[in-house]
Structure 1
Amino acid sequence: IHQLFEEIVEQTPDAIALVCENQQLTYCELNRQANQLAHHLRSLGVTADTLVGLCLERSLEIVVAILGILKAGGAYVPIDPDYPTERLSFIVEDAQLSVILTQQKLLESLPQHQACVVCLDSDGETITQNSQSNPQNTATANNLAYIIYTSGSTGQPKGVLVNHSNVVRLFTATESWYNFNSEDVWTLFHSIAFDFSVWEMWGALLYGGKLVVVPYLVTRSPESFYQLLCQEKVTVLNQTPSAFRQLIQLEEGIGNREQGIANDLKLRLVIFGGEALEINSLQPWFERHGDQQPQLVNMYGITETTVHVTYRPLSLADLDSAASVIGRPIPDLQMYVLDEYLQPVPIGVPGEMYVGGAGVTRGYLNRDELTTQRFISSPFNNLKLYKTGDLARYLPNGELEYLGRIDNQVKIRGFRIELGEIEALLTQHPDIWETVVLVREDEPGDKRLVAYIVPQSNSSLTSVQLRQYLKAKLPEYMVPNAFVILESLPLTDNGKINRRALPAPDLHRELTETYVAPRTPVEEILVQIWGQILNVEQVGINDDFFELGGHSLLATQLVSRIRNSFQVELPLRELFKAATVAQLADCIEQLKQQSPELTVPKIVPRRKKRSNTS
């Protein structure tokens, strides 16, 4: 990977490689800084297949660090500082990290470990004393590039071992489809602990393009992110379908207020991955933009098979179908749909997907038994197949239709239920924007089907209407016991639906404090806004926003409503500090006093970051 990057540096040393807020680095500057770090890591014993932990906030340095590790010959292991301590401890212990790259302020978030720690900020002077020249390469294509930990069914995460060759061939195999080039502008939207980031980073940096590192708070605010897309003239956008639906909703709102703003987007490609796509949710986008520019593409993929597996361009014609069509495999991969005896199933018959070819990774770190179970010998040739756990069927035209997880089949009161079937019917309802159905067991032994619904704007759906709609189409045992109407579905940092953050139905909340009615006009307005956003009938001034089911995406909506109602700009982080109505009202009063005409901050002109010279 890093040798391909070095070739680009030779070709376009002065082109802008990286941007983050008001800082930027050229290809030459990025290469020099990564080289200095690589030489420093070499002095600490980092060589081929050495595992180096990476615990950094989103910044230019995160890309410098990844390049530095690869150039030293090592493999990076992302450690997200926001992970729970228990998960961090497991990763650090499981990977037996020899070195951890971090920042001074994140040291206390690291669990106990035996690794050598390098702080890119406080150790910066030592690092910059090293040579700026490319270190002699010690890694081969078959050495590790990274280990990304994914959730495991046992509750313990599992580290996926990915080689340089797995990544390099991903771009070689898809070049003819996408024609990535030096004019492209990409966003690094996703956490480096999510392998979509691998595609984002190298899609830009192996072709001479520009990579915009998106600050964390901007990724949680559709308004701020949309503004960034326009400001930076982003051409290639990678999103989970859930995150993209937030942008569609936002754009619809902007379009209703201010016609023509959509022309500020310069996108030529929008690539979906990470979760199943509900094709009908794209209708408002196609109506506004058409289906040619940008081209929307659905890509099914798995960490164990290196980011992406299939490719399917999307068009207006696809809106006629409720199917989640994931298309055909990338040219250097093979996709098999097999039965329980590893025999191919006929066209149209559901089976489990198995992936073979150059994207299939080594397996799991320290999990030989699980690796043997999931990475099996192919019955068709001498290669490995990865057992995905996903259901699909081949369509007559040779494309694949994704049918959901095998483990998304649940059993309630003796009935076997496919949750995806209920979700598919709900998304066909004209007033439903998006939905997720799951089984909850809030009371031990009381399993209940719950449907979470985000209605279309200007829709006033009720549980009674939804229940009647499904009763006409499904047997009684498949009709959800409860329907929860939400303004948006909560997302994880990776942009996937966060099922754990979905609130319990029929919010029979037991307040920790006695209900206290609003006392001031500001509190009165806040109570009304909270009730609407959280779908709660009675809100007291001592109630906590997050305890009532609020989350980061709803928080951005609340900030927006506060801006419109009070003409003040409340920083998102303030909401996390002042989470009750009373505290928030005080905060708003203070802001109003500080600046009666406070407006949204202007975009600060970018300041060029100086390069280090020896």
Structure 2
Amino acid sequence: MPLRDLSPHDQRLFRQYGHGPAVPLPDPLVHHAVERHATEAPHTVAAEHLGGTITYGELNRYADALAVRLAREGVRPGDHVGLFVRRSIPMLVGLLGILKTGATHVPQDIGLAPRTRLAHVIHAAGTRVVLTVEQHAHRVPLPAGHRLIALDGPLPPAPRHGTPRPRVSPDAGCHILFGSASVSGSDSGPAARPHGTKVTHRNLATLLLTGPRGLGIRAGDRVAQLLDLASATAAWEILGCLAHGGTLVIGGEDTAAAARTADVLVATPAVLSGLDPAACPRLRTVAVVGEAGAPCPRPLADRWARRAGLLHCWAPTGTPATATPHRHDPAAPFPSLGRPTPNNTVYVLDPDRRPLPIGETGELWTGGDCVPSDPRAHDDIGDIDGLGTGHYAPDPFLGGGRRMARTRILGRWTPDGELEHLGHADAPAPLAHTAQAALHLTVS
């Protein structure tokens, strides 16, 4: 019994605090939600970028035409298709068109990723087809026998009644994350050769369509798109907006311009620090996703929480953010990670992955529908740096072949069921101890 070392009281609280509510998914295939908006509100603007716009009806028709082209090129459900573009409207057409075929999209920012990274992604993901635009076609290191399709080139006409819908399992791949590209453009080193993680449709639908992670996006809301296409959080901006009928405001070089007119913003602390909350009068919700497991700095969180509702978010590397979004309260004595969201779990475990009593400090692991269940999620897509080693483990608390993901974050449950963030497990011991002691002093 996985909980045999806990008292009956702690066993009950382990389940109560560590398991989010079980809720049904309205649709485990997120792109079907986008298609519904195209049918119900075809003239609503789906996205805008640098003065150009595309409606939901237009986006769906272009994506249908692309899906026809991809099918003619032999793309089938389960295939991996590269999407090497910059933030743009063609990026959306490519993403939706790939999903319509039942294939898995492999995104990379063609303006940031060096050629060695792109070559590694093509090889590791086993892509046979890569989508880009004419302007950047020369930057794709295409191997012999592979096919390059320009998203701004001619496409066949879309079928009158849309594309045939292939049978796609919710546990099939939706996209593969190889991490954000290095801004420096370095053409060597581990940053140029990241490992990949396959994210399923169920993983993504659980993120976008349940609980607070839907961010309250409503039809007509404006959602800024500022993050690197290859980051784990970009799908939250893009498909989170389109699945709820919002307008995606795609940022160009001036990211502040997109943020200024947004109702909803998903950002890292680095992005937030470069923006002025006073210049964002429409802003209603901000989701801040900690970088490398670190929480948003308190002064920055306090500053933005005075402008809009700010959610602290975190998740282990290689899983869709986020396991426990929690509304930040500037008056609270310490930032909380909150509780698990629907269909997800969070465990506080010792180094041997045994559950700890409530109040004791351990490493946070997360499980449930946010974690890919396929044990080959790393092995078949280039885990060359060993980053997947020990990252996943069988989940003994859910069982049924499920897996849990290691976060390398130290934390503990408070008596009332809130998660405290106590630093990074890989930090020097004195630093981790100091962070823990400081939080004990704060809340005692």
Q: Using structure 2 for the length normalisation, give the TM-score.
A: 0.80
Letter in 2 for 1:269: T
Deviation at 1:419, TM superposition (A): 7.0
CA distance 1:191–1:281, shift in 2 (3 Å): closer
CA distance 1:175–1:245, shift in 2 (3 Å): closer
Equivalent residues of 1:35, 1:68 under 8 A apart: yes
Partners of 1:164 and 1:342 in 2: CA distance: 28
More displaced 10-residue stretch of structure 1: 331-340 or 171-180: 171-180
Partners of 2:205 and 2:249 in 1: CA distance: 21
The reply to whether residue 343 of structure 1 matches residue 354 of structure 2 is yes
Deviation at 1:247, TM superposition (A): 1.8
Partners of 1:179 and 1:281 in 2: CA distance: 22
Equivalent residues of 2:422, 2:432 under 8 A apart: no
Partners of 1:159 and 1:137 in 2: CA distance: 27
Give the secondary-structure state (helix, strand or coil) at the position aligned to 1:379. Answer: coil
Equivalent residues of 2:86, 2:229 under 8 A apart: no
CA distance 1:193–1:286, shift in 2 (3 Å): closer
CA distance 1:29–1:40, shift in 2 (3 Å): same
**Aligned match of 1:296 in 290, 299, 310?**
310
Deviation at 1:132, TM superposition (A): 5.8
Which stretches in structure 1 are left out of the alignment for 5+ residues? 220-224, 252-261, 410-415, 426-614
Greater C-alpha radius of gyration: 1
Partners of 2:40 and 2:55 in 1: CA distance: 12
**Aligned match of 2:248 in 205, 211, 214?**
211
Deviation at 1:48, TM superposition (A): 0.8
Deviation at 1:80, TM superposition (A): 2.4
Deviation at 1:228, TM superposition (A): 3.3
Letter in 2 for 1:347: I
The reply to whether residue 381 of structure 1 matches residue 363 of structure 2 is no
| Larger relative contact order (Cα-Cα within 8 Å, sequence gap ≥ 6) | 2
Aligned to 2:163: 135
CA distance 1:77–1:402, shift in 2 (3 Å): same
Letter in 1 for 2:262: V
The percent identity for this pair of structures is 29
Equivalent residues of 1:95, 1:365 under 8 A apart: no
- Counterparts of 1:112-261 in structure 2, within 5 Å, are 112-114=142-144, 115-121=146-152, 124-125=153-154, 127-131=155-159, 133-138=161-166, 139-150=168-179, 156-174=193-211, 178-215=215-252, 217-219=253-255, 225=256, 227-230=257-260, 233-248=261-276
- Counterparts of 1:523-562 in structure 2, within 5 Å, are none
CA distance 1:67–1:303, shift in 2 (3 Å): farther
Equivalent residues of 2:195, 2:387 under 8 A apart: no
Equivalent residues of 2:314, 2:322 under 8 A apart: yes
CA distance 1:420–1:247, shift in 2 (3 Å): farther
Residues 253-307 of structure 1: CA deviation (Å, up to 9, x unaligned): xxxxxxxxx37611110111142212233344456x4xxxx21111112353322
Letter in 2 for 1:343: R
Partners of 2:391 and 2:304 in 1: CA distance: 38
Equivalent residues of 1:185, 1:211 under 8 A apart: yes
Q: What RMSD in Å do the two structures reach over aligned CA positions?
A: 2.7
Partners of 1:341 and 1:145 in 2: CA distance: 32
Give the secondary-structure state (helix, strand or coil) at the position aligned to 1:79. Answer: strand
Which stretches in structure 2 are left out of the alignment for 5+ residues? 1-29, 182-188, 439-444
CA distance 1:162–1:177, shift in 2 (3 Å): closer
Aligned to 2:43: 14
Partners of 1:70 and 1:189 in 2: CA distance: 22
Letter in 2 for 1:314: H
Aligned to 1:265: 281
Equivalent residues of 2:105, 2:174 under 8 A apart: yes
Partners of 2:234 and 2:241 in 1: CA distance: 11
The reply to whether residue 88 of structure 1 matches residue 104 of structure 2 is no
Aligned to 2:342: 331
Equivalent residues of 1:349, 1:393 under 8 A apart: yes
Equivalent residues of 2:47, 2:89 under 8 A apart: yes
Partners of 1:136 and 1:285 in 2: CA distance: 45
More displaced 10-residue stretch of structure 1: 11-20 or 355-364: 355-364
Aligned to 1:279: 298
Equivalent residues of 1:239, 1:272 under 8 A apart: yes
Equivalent residues of 1:53, 1:97 under 8 A apart: yes
CA distance 1:190–1:154, shift in 2 (3 Å): closer
Aligned to 1:309: 323
Partners of 1:150 and 1:45 in 2: CA distance: 27
Partners of 2:367 and 2:234 in 1: CA distance: 23
Deviation at 1:242, TM superposition (A): 2.4
CA distance 1:117–1:285, shift in 2 (3 Å): closer
Q: Using structure 1 for the length normalisation, give the TM-score.
A: 0.59
CA distance 1:424–1:278, shift in 2 (3 Å): farther
Give the secondary-structure state (helix, strand or coil) at the position aligned to 1:202. Answer: helix
